[in-house]
């Protein structure tokens, strides 16, 4: 398959670009942060995104979605990433929609998917349990008690967990920490008894929560996928999430880079434009190359996801590693090349570096994914 | 479609009949392998190398897209794909390595007169004439346009005097395509012409340059009152700089492919080297630090390969992308060789003698050779200049 966008994807990208530039420029995010907004995303804006069909991109047509695939949602996230658009699109439109569309029972699909598509509910995926992403280390317990399961433990860094209506939770039903077998995914109502949702205050001012479970009850019909094989299932969902997040991070990097190039063309010192300095030109050119490599890696991973490639895991780790490294580099260099103004809160670049470092941690850092890539490649 | 299937059948039959056994996969390993560059001075250890070149050259399939009237194959893009697929299917060797094909022929097609195309293209395509490139001079490296080798118009011919350096295989080549100064008073870019010179002309001499790798793929080339016929001028007088730049794009595209593990340097696999020399535990490179450096490198290589594919899928536009590939490809290739020799340890810096394996000694030489990759064809710094000015539009 060719590494270029289809007409349909170009159309989605153009729509998303217009939306992000007009409806959610960075000032939109800044206002939410300054106002200490409860959700750190705006319900009306989210409803506008829903009305554009974005929450249903990964949902089959029979449940009201468009089934435009990971390629479709990724071009949207890339454009939204350029203006740091905060919304539950990643947690709901990517993770929730993909998980239930692909692994849900008919009953679960009928129950949740139309509500995801219409914007009635948002979802969150609860995997991590410590400061580092590592799904195999799950020790969060789901214990069978007659006809029900009792969920106990604490989940950390749940994206949009402070506002989600539905939680998809990775739990250990058997086996030991470190084993792939014995993991199971549960769908839990965020209003269930025994849940304690603790909102997190992170550097990027987005919506995250730690969630404590105290004897939260779940029934068999709330298991997502099959029991004990949730490890494989969640890896698949995570890989789609990693690829989509890489696309958003690519958008972050492109935007910070563009802002910097524009600055080099108008800022004068010593009586000349600073863009004439070779020390800055060469670093800018190097960043250009890294962004080009990132575009290719993300696009290949996106296509791999939609084609069910048997290289999907490797491509996902490739994309997340490269996107993380590139955004890391660009967000650092953008600030340095701007000089003093780059480290002021008034200027937007600070938002990009803060978002960069949080996004790097989401579903595995570049270090995590370099190791995973090495393992998958037999190095 | 039917015509294409018919063409495929013809190609298959022709290859079956004409591609000698030692030029395909599964060749007898005891038969010596030639690096075939053609030309008047060519020598062949395996006579089938010459047979294969002559047959492919006669078909014009060494440059399959060039029109038949100039000795090419006259094939369209779909037919070329089929030819490549069928050659790949039997593991057919490329019949000819040639600076004429990679660099000069595209320029002749664009800028040459009808007579020049008819004179030179068939000989390039058949591998009868081996070409070398006369660009750099002792005083003109990155600042190529400052070149001083002069060609004076003395009536019925040019009189060429000066010196070129870094002429690849000048001692083995038959002809040279050279940049010469024909307008000493004009601004430096506007006084350069593109001239073809027969290396057998009186006054041309060459001297090999020994590199840090111990090999001598380059020469110095001297011109001492060399008479060059007027008809050997390509394009207009003093308009050679545009041609020079067009040719550089072809050269950069060609050099950048080294980054993918082919071409110059060693094609050995970094991971197997590390497993062999550093050690292997549970199928993994046993030293975590080497392993992580290698993994990071391989990830970049993967993304670079995908970028190559994307550029091709997008229709291979823009000269500036050539600069990116040249820069990244050569820097990556240097890094790959650094990692290979580091993983090979002491054996990775072996020079000669029976205590070391041939492949390790070759690796040392290859590593040193790659140091030139980011200098030849425009240094990495020049490529960064091109990207920052032409792609990013940064001010001068």
A14-37 tens-digit pLDDT: 999 999 999 999 999 999 999 999
Whether the per-residue pLDDT at A94 is higher than 90: the answer is: yes
Are B207 and B321 found together in one domain? no
CA distance A169 to A131: 17
Nearest to B309 among A3, A321, A370 (CB): A3
Are B165 and B280 found together in one domain? no
Closest residue in A to B279 (Cα–Cα): A379
Is the Cβ–Cβ distance between B82 and B73 less than 8 Å? Answer: no
**Mean pLDDT for all residues in chain B:** 92
Give B162-190 pLDDT, tens digit per residue: 999 999 899 999 999 999 999 999 999 99
Are B253 and B345 found together in one domain? yes
- Other CB atoms within 10 A of residue B319 CB: 15
Q: Do B394 and A294 touch (CB under 8 A)?
A: no
Mean of pLDDT values over B259-277: 76
Rounded to the nearest angstrom, the minimum Cα separation between A107 and chain B is 41
Beta strand pairing call for A208-219 and A166-172: unpaired
Are B211 and B248 found together in one domain? no
CATH 1.20.140.10, chain A: domain bounds? 231-377
The Cα-based distances of A227 to A102, A137, B227 in angstroms read 15, 17, 86
Rounded to the nearest angstrom, the minimum Cα separation between B267 and chain A is 17
Give Cβ neighbours of residue A203 (< 8 Å, ≥ 6 apart).
A354, A357, A358
Among A161-175, A192-206, A255-269, B239-253, the least confident range: B239-253
Domain-located, residue B223 = yes
Determine which helix (DSSP H) or strand (DSSP E) holds A210, and give its type and residue range.
Answer: strand A208-219
Quote the pLDDT of residue B27: 85
Rounded to the nearest angstrom, the minimum Cα separation between B354 and chain A is 31
Nearest to A284 among B294, B295, B394 (CB): B394
- For residues B312 and A209, which has the higher predicted lDDT (pLDDT)? A209
In chain A, which residues have their Cβ closer than 8 Å to the Cβ of B296? 370
Looking at the complex, does the CB of residue B58 fall below 8 Å from at least one CB of chain A?
no
Owner of token pair 């047979």: B51
Supply the range of the domain harboring residue B348: 244-391
Looking at the complex, does the CB of residue B260 fall below 8 Å from at least one CB of chain A?
no
Quote the pLDDT of residue B280: 96
pLDDT band at B191 (very low <50, low <70, confident <90, very high): very high
From A375, A164, A59, A4, select the one nearest B288 (Cα to Cα): A375
**Mean pLDDT for all residues in chain A:** 97
Owner of token pair 């039917």: B2
CA distance B387 to B396: 12
pLDDT band at B263 (very low <50, low <70, confident <90, very high): very low
CA distance A337 to A277: 11
What DSSP assignment string belongs to A302-317? Answer: HHHHHTT-TTHHHHHH
Give A102-130 pLDDT, tens digit per residue: 999 999 999 999 999 999 999 999 999 99
Mean of pLDDT values over B233-258: 83
CATH number at B162 reads 2.40.110.10
Mean of pLDDT values over B231-248: 94
Domain-located, residue B281 = yes
Domain-located, residue B117 = no
pTM of the entire structure?
A: 0.89
Give A244-287 pLDDT, tens digit per residue: 999 999 999 999 999 999 999 999 999 999 999 999 999 999 99
Q: Do A285 and B392 touch (CB under 8 A)?
A: yes
Whether the per-residue pLDDT at B254 is higher than 70: the answer is: no
Quote the pLDDT of residue B363: 94
Greatest pairwise CA separation for chain A in angstroms? 79
Quote the pLDDT of residue B319: 56
Are B148 and B252 found together in one domain? no
CA distance A20 to A16: 6
From A82, A5, A74, A68, select the one nearest A246 (Cα to Cα): A74
Rounded to the nearest angstrom, the minimum Cα separation between B5 and chain A is 22
In chain A, which residues have their Cβ closer than 8 Å to the Cβ of B383? 285
Domain-located, residue B309 = yes
Whether the per-residue pLDDT at A240 is higher than 80: the answer is: yes
In chain A, which residues have their Cβ closer than 8 Å to the Cβ of B274? 379
Domain-located, residue B125 = no
Is the Cβ–Cβ distance between A249 and A201 less than 8 Å? Answer: no
Quote the pLDDT of residue A85: 98
Rounded to the nearest angstrom, the minimum Cα separation between B218 and chain A is 29
CA distance B65 to A129: 60
Are B256 and B385 found together in one domain? yes
Mean of pLDDT values over A70-86: 98
Mean of pLDDT values over A38-66: 98
Quote the pLDDT of residue B28: 87
Give Cβ neighbours of residue A133 (< 8 Å, ≥ 6 apart).
A127, A361, A362, A363, A364, A365, A368
User: Domain A125-228 is of which CATH architecture?
Assistant: Beta Barrel (2.40)
CA angle B331, B334, B336 (to 5 degrees): 110
Are B135 and B24 found together in one domain? no
CATH number of A7-121: 1.10.540.10
Q: Which of B142, B297, B307, B374 to mutate to test the interface with A (most CBs of A within 10 A)?
A: B307
CA distance B147 to A226: 73
Nearest to B299 among A285, A299, A370 (CB): A370
Nearest to B295 among A281, A299, A370 (CB): A370
The Cα-based distances of B327 to A370, B156, B197 in angstroms read 24, 43, 31
CATH 1.10.540.10, chain A: domain bounds? 7-121
User: What is the fold, at CATH topology level, of the domain defined by A231-377?
Assistant: Butyryl-CoA Dehydrogenase, subunit A; domain 3 (1.20.140)
Whether the per-residue pLDDT at A48 is higher than 60: the answer is: yes
Are B278 and B369 found together in one domain? yes
CATH number at B29 reads 1.10.540
Domain final residue pick, B83, B103, B123? B103
Are B312 and B232 found together in one domain? no
Domain-located, residue B311 = yes
Looking at the complex, does the CB of residue B394 fall below 8 Å from at least one CB of chain A?
yes
Are B309 and B227 found together in one domain? no
Whether the per-residue pLDDT at B318 is higher than 80: the answer is: no
Give Cβ neighbours of residue A297 (< 8 Å, ≥ 6 apart).
A246, A315, A318, A319, A322, A323, B302, B303, B306
Quote the pLDDT of residue A335: 98
Find residues 265-304 of chain B whose CB sits inside 8 Å of chain A: 271, 274, 283-285, 291-292, 294-296, 298-300, 302-304
Structural domain tally of chain B? Answer: 3
Domain-located, residue B126 = no
In chain B, which residues have their Cβ closer than 8 Å to the Cβ of A322? 299-300, 303
Domain-located, residue B329 = yes
CA distance B289 to B266: 23
pLDDT band at B259 (very low <50, low <70, confident <90, very high): very low
Are B154 and B84 found together in one domain? no
pLDDT band at B257 (very low <50, low <70, confident <90, very high): low
Are B278 and B383 found together in one domain? yes
In chain A, which residues have their Cβ closer than 8 Å to the Cβ of B307? 292-293, 295-296
Mean of pLDDT values over A200-209: 98
From B202, B201, B204, select the one nearest B167 (Cα to Cα): B204
Give B140-164 pLDDT, tens digit per residue: 988 999 999 999 999 989 999 999 9
Mean of pLDDT values over A211-231: 96
pLDDT band at B264 (very low <50, low <70, confident <90, very high): low
The Cα-based distances of A314 to A58, A234, A300, A319 in angstroms read 22, 16, 11, 9
CATH number at B280 reads 1.20.140.10
Mean of pLDDT values over A340-365: 97
């Amino acid at each position: 398959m060719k590494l270029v966008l289809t007409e349909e994807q170009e159309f989605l990208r153009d729509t998303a670009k217009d939306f992000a530039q007009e409806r959610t420029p960075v000032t939109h995010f800044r206002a939410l942060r300054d106002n200490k907004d409860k959700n750190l995303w705006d319900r009306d804006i989210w409803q506008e995104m829903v009305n554009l069909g974005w929450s249903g991109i990964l949902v089959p047509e029979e449940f009201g979605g468009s089934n435009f695939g990971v390629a479709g949602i990724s071009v949207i996230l890339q454009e939204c990433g350029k203006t740091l658009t905060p919304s539950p699109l990643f947690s709901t439109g990517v993770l929730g929609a993909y998980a239930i569309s692909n692994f849900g029972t008919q009953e679960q699909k009928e129950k949740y998917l139309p509500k995801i598509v219409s914007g009635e509910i948002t979802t969150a995926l609860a995997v991590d349990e410590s400061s580092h992403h590592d799904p195999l280390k799950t020790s969060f317990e789901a214990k069978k008690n007659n006809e029900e399961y009792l969920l106990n433990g604490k989940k950390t860094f749940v994206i949009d967990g402070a506002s989600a209506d539905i939680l998809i939770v990775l739990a250990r039903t058997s086996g030991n920490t470190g084993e792939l077998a014995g993991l199971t995914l549960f769908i839990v109502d965020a209003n269930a008894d025994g849940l304690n949702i603790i909102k997190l205050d992170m550097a990027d001012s987005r919506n995250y929560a730690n969630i404590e479970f105290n004897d939260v009850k779940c029934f068999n019909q709330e298991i997502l996928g099959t029991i004990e094989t949730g490890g494989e299932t969640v890896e698949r969902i995570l890989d789609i999430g990693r690829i989509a997040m890489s696309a958003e991070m690519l958008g972050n990097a492109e935007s910070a880079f563009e802002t910097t190039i524009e600055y080099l063309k108008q800022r004068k010192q010593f009586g000349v434009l600073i863009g004439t300095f070779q020390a800055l030109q060469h670093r800018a050119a190097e960043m250009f190359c890294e962004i080009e490599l990132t575009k290719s890696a993300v696009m290949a991973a996106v296509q791999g996801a939609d084609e069910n490639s048997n290289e999907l895991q490797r491509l996902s780790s490739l994309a997340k590693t490269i996107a993380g490294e590139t955004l890391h580099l660009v967000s650092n260099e953008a600030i340095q090349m701007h000089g003093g103004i780059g480290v002021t809160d008034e200027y937007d670049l600070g938002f990009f570096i803060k978002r960069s470092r949080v996004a790097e941690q989401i579903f595995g850092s570049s270090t995590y994914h370099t190791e995973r890539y090495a393992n998958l490649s037999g190095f | 479609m039917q015509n294409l299937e018919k063409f495929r059948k013809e190609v298959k039959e022709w290859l079956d009949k004409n591609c000698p056994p030692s030029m395909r996969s599964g060749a007898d390993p005891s038969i010596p392998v030639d690096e075939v560059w053609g030309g008047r001075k060519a020598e062949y250890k395996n006579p089938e190398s010459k047979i294969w070149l002559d047959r492919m050259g006669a078909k014009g399939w060494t440059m399959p897209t060039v029109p038949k009237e100039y000795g090419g194959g006259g094939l369209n893009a779909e037919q070329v794909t089929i030819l490549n697929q069928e050659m790949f299917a039997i593991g057919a060797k490329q019949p000819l390595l040639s600076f004429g094909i990679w660099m000069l022929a595209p320029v002749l097609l664009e800028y040459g007169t009808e007579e020049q195309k008819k004179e030179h293209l068939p000989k390039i395509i058949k591998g009868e004439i081996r070409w070398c490139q006369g660009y750099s001079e002792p005083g003109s490296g990155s600042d190529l346009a400052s070149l001083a080798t002069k060609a004076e118009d003395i009536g019925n011919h040019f009189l060429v005097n000066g010196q070129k350096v870094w002429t690849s295989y000048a001692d083995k080549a038959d002809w040279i395509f050279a940049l010469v100064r024909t307008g000493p008073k004009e601004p430096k870019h506007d006084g350069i012409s593109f001239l073809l010179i027969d290396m057998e002309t009186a006054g041309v001499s060459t001297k090999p340059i020994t590199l840090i790798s111990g090999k001598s793929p380059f020469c110095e080339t001297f011109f001492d009152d060399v008479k060059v016929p007027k008809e050997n001028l390509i394009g207009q007088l003093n308009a050679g700089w545009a041609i020079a730049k067009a040719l550089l794009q072809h050269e950069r595209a060609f050099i950048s492919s080294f980054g993918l593990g082919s071409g110059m340097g060693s094609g050995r696999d970094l991971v197997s080297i590390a497993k062999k020399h550093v050690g292997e535990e549970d199928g993994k490179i046993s030293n975590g630090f080497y392993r992580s450096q290698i993994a990071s490198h391989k990830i970049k290589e993967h993304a670079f390969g995908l970028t190559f594919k994307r550029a091709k899928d997008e229709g291979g536009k823009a000269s500036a992308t050539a600069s990116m590939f040249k820069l990244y490809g050569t820097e990556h290739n240097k890094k790959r060789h650094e990692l290979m020799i580091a993983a090979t340890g002491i054996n990775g810096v072996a020079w000669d003698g029976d205590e070391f394996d041939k492949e390790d000694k070759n690796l040392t030489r290859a590593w040193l050779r790659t140091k030139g990759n980011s200098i030849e064809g425009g240094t990495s710094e020049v490529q960064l200049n091109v990207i920052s000015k032409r792609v990013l539009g940064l001010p001068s």
